[in-house]
Amino acid sequence: MDLGLKDKVVFITGAAGGIGSALTRAFAAEGARVVIHYGFAQERAAARQLAREISTDSLLLQGDLSSEAQVRKVFTQARKKLGRIDVLVNNAGRSPYEGLFLSEHTPEMWEDLYRSNLLTAVLCTREFLRGLKQQGSTGNVVFISSTAGTEGEAGNAIYAAFKAAMIGLCLSVKQEGVKQLHPQASFRANVVAPGWTVTRMAAVLEFLKNRKAVVRALQTRSLPDLAEAEDVANLVTFLASDKAARTITGQTFRVDCGMDRRLQWESEELQEAYERILQRHSELGAPVKRGRGARGKSSNSGK
């Protein structure tokens, strides 16, 4: 289906990561012009490779999006080079404190993830809205949250708290955007909350090697499978399309294969499902390891 995204300018934060790169490829495949943002020097090589890979016009930008000055700088550069910004995908985020209970947290940890996981989305959305007002055009923003933000997650409270905050932010932004823009302009804002998502990140590959952990995750899903980064990207491009999703705003969509708190399968029923997942991702370098493996991480993001 033609989503009507050809020549739209899409700004993706954290575009060099696992889900970010899938988002970049999906928008480029629709003919969009993509602003590929990355935040850290170690991501530069991957970001450059991604820019070379996609066939449409793109712009590669680095910046600390928790800094007002740098947010203003990269958005100004994007508009100067590409003329405007039509879609913002707030994808950037980190989860460095997994496995630590709240009693072990420090205020510095909360400040760190506030700046990288929530403040970045606030500053980018603010700058995006200011630009749309000047453009006098339609636009929409998609926030990448997590099932950690809708369900909570033991040992990951900081990440869960700020991913939950993004949902509340979206609900306010979808109202404010309409009020602030030109009366004839349309503005939409939605949230996509992935569960465990398979990417090329080391933590995800380590998780895939742990049969017990994967099977335990599959037991809570109606569809005994794990989402792909492309599954997330397909939903985000749909929501970014004014042609396909014109009336959808203020909604949170989970990409989690029907994850529930209940156990929906017995572990012995899922051994073949586990083998299928490993076979599907053999090219990622995740070796099939029978029996007990390394302890899998509990992050829901896969980013």
Q: Longest C-alpha distance within the chain, in Å?
A: 61
Q: What is the dihedral of CA 165, 95, 284, 238, to 10 degrees?
A: 10
Q: Can you name the residues that pair with 36 across neighbouring β-strands?
A: 12, 60
Residue 298 has pLDDT above 60, yes or no: no
* Nearest Cα residue to 187 out of 173, 198, 201, 199: 173
Extract the tokens encoding 268: 């012995």
Torsion of CA 61, 188, 156, 39, to 10 degrees: 0
Nearest to 60 by CA among 42, 31, 81: 81
Quick: pLDDT tens for 185-221.
789 999 999 998 998 777 788 888 889 989 988 999 9
**DSSP assigned state of 221:** B
Residue 194 amino acid letter: P
Helix H, strand E, coil C: the string for 23-73 is: HHHHHHHCCCEEEEEECCHHHHHHHHHHHHHCCCCEEEEECCCCCHHHHHH
- State the Cα–Cα distance between residues 223 and 187, nearest whole angstrom: 33
What's the whole-number average pLDDT of the chain?
A: 90
Q: What is the pLDDT of residue 146?
A: 96
The whole-number pLDDT of residue 138 equals 87
- The answer to whether 10 and 26 are in contact (CB under 8 A) is no
Q: What pTM was computed for the model?
A: 0.89
Question: Is 159 noted as a catalytic residue in this protein?
Answer: yes
Fold for the domain defined by 9-198+226-257 = Rossmann fold (3.40.50)
Say what the pLDDT of residue 283 is.
63
Backbone angles phi, psi at 173, to 5 degrees: -65, -35
As a whole number, mean pLDDT of residues 245-260 equals: 96
User: Residue 289: its pLDDT value, please?
Assistant: 42
Greater confidence, 264 or 20?
A: 20
Question: Could you identify the residue written with the tokens 């156990």?
Answer: 263
pLDDT in tens, 96-143: 999 999 999 999 999 999 999 999 999 999 999 999 988 877 899 999
Q: Which residue has the higher pLDDT, 200 or 65?
A: 65
Q: What is the pLDDT of residue 301?
A: 40
Residue 296 has pLDDT above 80, yes or no: no
Q: Which pLDDT does position 291 carry in this prediction?
A: 35
Structure tokens at 162: 């700020």
How many CA atoms lie less than 13 Å away from 86 in the CB half-sphere?
A: 19
Q: How far apart are CA 15 and CA 90, in angstroms?
A: 10
Residue from 38, 97, 114, 159 carrying the catalytic annotation: 159
Neighbours of 170 (CB within 10 A): 23
Beta bridge mates, 41: none
Tens of pLDDT, residue by residue over 267-287, are: 999 999 999 998 888 765 544
| Residue 295, pLDDT above cutoff 50 | no
C-alpha–C-alpha distance, residues 36 and 49, integer Å: 11
**Over the range 40-67, which residues count as b (16 or more CB within 10 Å of their CB) and which as e?**
eeebeebbeebbeebeeebbbbbbebbe
